[in-house]
Structure 1
């Protein structure tokens, strides 16, 4: 059995208008954006599960491009992310997360829309589970997925955060039209 070198996880605390998010990347890209105002424990537990044995190193400089992108988004000045991601998940999860990235800024889709987008129309529940496992909040916009009846459904960051993100996008996209 060959020993695989564990990638270093670089992390930083992004602070924006009373919101605090722990974010992390590898040398390849953004891997984690935490829930608003959650403790470091959220990142630590996720890292233990998805990058077992990887060292966690605080490095504000390495995370600068990610912090800048997310901050610009939260200020309503950016509606797409150009930073690289390194997804850690199953093929199914990756398909779902990629489909989330295709939802236009300021728009929403239902879980069944996503299931149809990835050509698995009967996998609505599995789509919901994959969305719940999205480690990169905001940048991989799972907040744009709502119930079929238009209701706001679960969100790892909490429904308050989901509502704020959707409102931000509505305001920013209506001011540019």
Structure 2
């Protein structure tokens, strides 16, 4: 059952991001939403306006790269309690049948709410989160900072 829950949420998440469908995206996100770029300070989105701005940046970056699919292979699901799941998955960002960046690990925490299961936390590699914000690029199959001033390794796990 938890695998089916995440599969449905993940499919909605992917379609919304690729199609630019903010209402569908917002429909699978809990507010506040905590986003943790591994190795950096987490940030929290508190309002729909915050969520929409974050969504738009990610959608625009995916569209700019011609991304056609985001596949999340579930590695592990942990039932934290009756209303919370932690999902560890390997993410593949694709343009047709080709991966454009090496697979990376992302963790999601889902919370059961009146409207269904929602993502309340995202923890991913620094480069992925920075790419979603327009601060990193994908080059030669890896996330890389847009400027040397960004510092650090965007592929830190």
TM-score category of the 2 structures, normalised to the smaller one? under 0.3
Q: Which has the larger radius of gyration?
A: 1
Q: What's the TM-score once normalised by structure 2's chain length?
A: 0.26
Q: What's the TM-score once normalised by structure 1's chain length?
A: 0.24
Higher strand share: 2
